[in-house]
Structure 1
Amino acid sequence: MSKGILLVLSGPSGSGKGTILGEYSKDHPLYFSVSNTTRSPRPGEIDGVHYHFISREEFESKIASGGMLEYAQYCDNYYGTPRDKVEEQTAKGVNVMLDIETQGAMNVRAACPEAVLCFVVPPSMEVLRHRLTGRGTEDEETVNKRLSQALNEIRLIDNYDFVVINDALEDAVAQFAEIVAISQAAASGTLTPEQQQTMNNLKEKSAALKAAVKKEFLL
């Protein structure tokens, strides 16, 4: 039995990465690793479904005991991935999905070089600001802090294998599904010549998107 692959999805708050994952998972079985966090739940979020909401003291205890595969601080809160469930699922041949911040993704890449990293970003800074303010859950100071953090995250985009621009949700989900499918085939060593060409095309497209994103957000 082949080992499952570890897939990492990152992007600024407001990029819609969670929505993409939700739509993708309707038709594609996978193990979605639920992160631990010390932040407060947003309206509609369910403990154990969207996040495991734990205290700062409990989180730091898990760090000390080696119980976190990765962790990061974002907007003064901890976010991290419990190690045990990820290792258990991949050992059984199940693909595991992580929805984590860029700092955590870099830690995963260091610990698991074979992990597949995908970065999701809106088409423009204007769209990102609109999405953040449209939530109605954060004040202007917090929105500006998240926008500043978004720029820091985008500066790490070259460390990702693939990029998805989340403009039209249906298209973004289709692009993500193609990335996952071709990465699964590559990990199992079963790429056909046609699939290898698809992989090459996806990497070339992502390289072009990285340049476009940096021009839009960073210049």
Structure 2
Amino acid sequence: MSLLVIMGKSASGKDLVVNELIKKHDYKKLVAYTTRPMRDDEKQDATYHFISEEEFIGKIKDDFFAEYRKYLTVKGIWYYGSAKEDCGTDDKLIAILPPEGVESLKSKGINPTVIYLYSNQATIKNRLAKRGDDKDEAERRMKADNTDFRRAEMLADRIVYNNGNKSLEEVVDEIAKWGGALT
């Protein structure tokens, strides 16, 4: 199995970069499970497997997840997790995970290549405002990210900066190089 994990704070550009890596470098997205509400531009079983909290907790009890996490948001509790069976395929997989998810995978003997997609606070704040995120939730996420990503640099195999001074193509190619897609 070849698993490339993109780790980054809210609005660091993770989804955009992952979508380009899938298009340009034939990665297959590891589709995670979540209990959060689906956004207008998202698709069931493509963006996430959207399930109820009851279903998610049942899967935790069944030891279904390789990693999972729980977030207390301004809209309630949201769960996210990656299925064990998805992490065990021979596909060239790509996933977006927070540090907690990376640590959980590593504790289970799954050793992905981890890229920390870093954006500074000013860039993140600007991106969150531009995309129209709920202001209270955006502030909560920024504050939580500052705590959650304290160990990110130690967990990463490589740090790639995405503060708007490189093109999307440059960022994607840099990640592909370190993720093994470019030789």
Q: 1:48 aligns with which of 41, 45, 51?
A: 45
**Which secondary structure does the structure 2 equivalent of 1:39 belong to?**
coil
The separation in 2 between residues aligned to 1:52 and 1:172, in whole angstroms, is: 27
Residue by residue, what CA displacement relative to the aligned partner does 1:30-53 show, whole Å, maximum 9, x if unpaired? 221100001001221111111111
What residue number does 2:140 align with? 145
Aligned residue runs from structure 1 range 13-28, under 5 A: 13-28=10-25
Runs of 4+ in structure 1 off by over 4 angstroms are none
What residue number does 2:4 align with? 7
User: How far apart are 1:86 and its partner, in Å?
Assistant: 2.4
Gaps of 5+ in 2: none
The separation in 1 between residues aligned to 2:32 and 2:93, in whole angstroms, is: 12
The separation in 1 between residues aligned to 2:116 and 2:109, in whole angstroms, is: 17
**Which secondary structure does the structure 1 equivalent of 2:25 belong to?**
coil
What residue number does 1:176 align with? 175
What residue number does 1:208 align with? none
The separation in 1 between residues aligned to 2:111 and 2:142, in whole angstroms, is: 30
Aligned residue runs from structure 1 range 100-115, under 5 A: 100-115=97-112
User: How far apart are 1:101 and its partner, in Å?
Assistant: 2.0
Q: Which residue identity lines up with residue 68 of structure 1 in the other structure?
A: F
Which stretch shows the higher mean deviation, 105-114 or 63-72?
A: 105-114
Contact 2:105 2:111 in 1 (8 A): no
Answer 1 or 2: which has greater helix percent. 1
Using structure 1 for the length normalisation, give the TM-score. Answer: 0.75
| Bigger RCO (CA 8 Å, 6+ sep) | 2
**Which secondary structure does the structure 2 equivalent of 1:27 belong to?**
helix
The separation in 2 between residues aligned to 1:54 and 1:177, in whole angstroms, is: 31
The separation in 1 between residues aligned to 2:52 and 2:110, in whole angstroms, is: 30
Residue by residue, what CA displacement relative to the aligned partner does 1:102-158 show, whole Å, maximum 9, x if unpaired? 211110121135321111121x211101111211131x2111101112212330121
Residue by residue, what CA displacement relative to the aligned partner does 1:160-219 show, whole Å, maximum 9, x if unpaired? 11111113322211110111127x9xxxxxxxxxx8xxxxxxxxxxxxxxxxxxxxxxxx
The separation in 2 between residues aligned to 1:37 and 1:107, in whole angstroms, is: 17
What residue number does 2:78 align with? 77
What residue number does 2:123 align with? 127
Q: Which residue identity lines up with residue 103 of structure 2 in the other structure?
A: M
Indicate yes or no: 2:45 matched with 1:57.
no
The alignment yields a C-alpha RMSD, in angstroms, of 1.7
Larger radius of gyration: 1
Q: Which residue identity lines up with residue 86 of structure 2 in the other structure?
A: K
The separation in 2 between residues aligned to 1:164 and 1:13, in whole angstroms, is: 15
Q: How many residues align?
A: 175
Using structure 2 for the length normalisation, give the TM-score. Answer: 0.88
Answer 1 or 2: which has greater strand percent. 2
Q: Which residue identity lines up with residue 144 of structure 2 in the other structure?
A: Q
User: How far apart are 1:58 and its partner, in Å?
Assistant: 0.4
**Which secondary structure does the structure 2 equivalent of 1:26 belong to?**
helix
Q: Which residue identity lines up with residue 152 of structure 1 in the other structure?
A: T
Gaps of 5+ in 1: 185-194, 196-219
**Which secondary structure does the structure 2 equivalent of 1:45 belong to?**
coil
Aligned residues with identical type, % of pairs: 27
